[in-house]
Structure 1
Amino acid sequence: MQFKSMVISNVELSPCYFRMRMTAPQDLGTSLPGQFLMLKVTESIDPLLRRPFGLFDVGTFQAEYDETPHTYVEILYKVVGKGTRMLSALHHGDGIDLLAPLGKGFRLGEKGEEKILVGGGVGLAPLYYLAKALVAQGEKVRLFAGGRNRDDILCITEFERLGVETYVATDDGTLGEQGFVTEVLEKHLGAGQRIFACGPMPMLGAVSRMAEAHGVPCQVSLEAYMACGVGACLGCVMPGANHSDQTPDYRCVCKDGPVFDSFELKWS
């Protein structure tokens, strides 16, 4: 759906990281964890392209002017360029144009498995919506969050309020254990688990190889630059597991993903 939305709140969580809540149609409440939206920052032609953001949360709120529940959608984002800088300047009541929900989301797996979530930076965004869905069906969920420093660790309190057991690692040791989050993850991997990961490509590659070594099913949500979000421009392709110079095998992140089984992709 393409729809006009209104900013409800736009809060800075830590330096350069923001959490934005916007109004949404009621139908968006059926969106899946791992899906994403494309957001048009301004009505002008600069910047021209929409920006993709994972769904951090979808829920309902009570408006002041009536008693009817209304739907909202939330995103996490980091200010890295002109588009996100303009986004950070929006306030309550500002209008915005959205295209959502897009892509294929996470498959929740079998009941009774321990669900392991692994995220870095804004890669934590789709994992919160996923955690809510898993907790709602009674699953045991653990979160492993990593970043360069404490400013990159976002919304841990929200995960803990859901009852999710959390582990944190930072490169400089300013929060949690010092080192890569994959080093902490490896200490806790075992049988009867399923991994869901989102974050930088090097982290996802390391998690994928680790999951394969331990025989643990793993789904990854990829971050990619997107122009259209619907598979038309082919600007966000990723080599598939069978890719070679002789037999090209590409997967379109926006249409075939952004969530993939880790064995579907070529990591080397």
Structure 2
Amino acid sequence: MQFKATIISNQEVSPGYFRMRITAHPELTGAQPGQFVMVRVRDAIDPLLRRPFGIFDVGTVPSEYPGCSSATYLEMLYKVVGKGTETLSTYHHGDHVDIIAPLGTGFDLGDPEEEKILVGGGVGIAPLYYLAKTLVGRSRVRFFLGGRTRDDILCVTEFERLGVETYVSTDDGTLGDRGLVTDVMERHVREDGRKKTIYACGPMPMLKAVAGIARQTGTSCQVSLEAYMACGMGACLGCVVKGRDHGDETPDYRCVCKDGPVFAFDQLMWV
């Protein structure tokens, strides 16, 4: 769907990180955790291309608009890294953006009896909150959040309010455990023989480490990739990654936007 959205709020939650809530089409409540949206930041040619953002949350709130008892909202979590996100960070309540959503393939929720391990790095937690919100109540969920410093640790309270066991680590030790989030997560994955599924989103080195742990421990694992995109629909081929088809070492290229952004870890080549 393509629709015009009104910004409800655009809050800086940590230096350089923003959480934006916008009005959304009612059918977006059926979006899968892990899917994403393409946002046209301005009605101008600069910046020309839409920007992709993972769906942080979808829900309904009492409507402030005449004739509507409730309104559907969508939330995005983003970091200011360039012209598009810098422009987005200047928007306020009542401003408008153009949205195409929902796009891509989301997470497979798997067996409710399995423990769910969520691993996020920095703004990579964006699709994991909506996933956690969907999983809680049907499975045990533990969330491992890492960042370089305490400023990169986002929305911990929101996950804890869902009832999710949350573990924090930072590279410099300014918050939580000191060290890599994958090291903390690995200890918990190996702590007992219970069947688990790992869901991860974040920087590629983190995802590569998570995939290695999943392979060594025989744990089911899904990863959500971040990529530069021009269209979000598989037409431009600007977001391809090397895939693996049935164990063949010959690369089988996949579009992150259309074939993903969520992949089983063994569908990708990590070299």
TM-score range, shorter chain: over 0.9
Q: For residues 128-165 of structure 1, what are the alpha-carbon distances to aligned partners after superposition, in whole Å with 9 as ceiling and x for unaligned?
A: 000000014x2110000000001111000000000000
SS at 1:188 equivalent: helix
SS at 2:189 equivalent: coil
Q: For residues 31-78 of structure 1, what are the alpha-carbon distances to aligned partners after superposition, in whole Å with 9 as ceiling and x for unaligned?
A: 000000000000000000000000000000112345511100000000
Distance 2:254 2:146 in 1: 27
CA-CA distance at 1:249 after TM superposition: 1.1
Q: For residues 198-231 of structure 1, what are the alpha-carbon distances to aligned partners after superposition, in whole Å with 9 as ceiling and x for unaligned?
A: 0000000100010110111000000000000000
Indicate the residue corresponding to 1:21 in structure 2.
Answer: 21
Distance 1:106 1:6 in 2: 28
Indicate the residue corresponding to 1:208 in structure 2.
Answer: 211
Distance 2:3 2:45 in 1: 18
Contact 2:77–2:126 (8 Å) recurs in 1: yes
Distance 2:3 2:110 in 1: 32
TM-score by length of 1: 0.97
Indicate the residue corresponding to 1:254 in structure 2.
Answer: 257
**Structure 2: which 5+ runs fail to align?**
none
Asked whether 1:235 is paired with 2:238, we answer yes
Indicate the residue corresponding to 2:87 in structure 1.
Answer: 86
Structure 1 runs, 4 residues or longer, greater than 4 Å off: none
SS at 1:226 equivalent: coil
Indicate the residue corresponding to 1:112 in structure 2.
Answer: 113
Aligned partner of 2:28: which letter?
L
Indicate the residue corresponding to 1:101 in structure 2.
Answer: 102
Counterparts of 1:184-223 in structure 2, within 5 Å, are: 184-190=184-190, 191-223=194-226
Indicate the RMSD between aligned Cα atoms, in angstroms.
Answer: 1.4
Indicate the residue corresponding to 1:34 in structure 2.
Answer: 34
Distance 2:44 2:229 in 1: 19
Q: For residues 80-102 of structure 1, what are the alpha-carbon distances to aligned partners after superposition, in whole Å with 9 as ceiling and x for unaligned?
A: 11110000000000011000000
Distance 2:88 2:246 in 1: 37
Give the length in aligned residue pairs: 266
Contact 2:251–2:269 (8 Å) recurs in 1: no
Aligned partner of 2:117: which letter?
I
What percentage of aligned pairs have identical amino acids? Answer: 66
**Structure 1: which 5+ runs fail to align?**
none
Distance 1:24 1:205 in 2: 34
Indicate the residue corresponding to 2:153 in structure 1.
Answer: 153
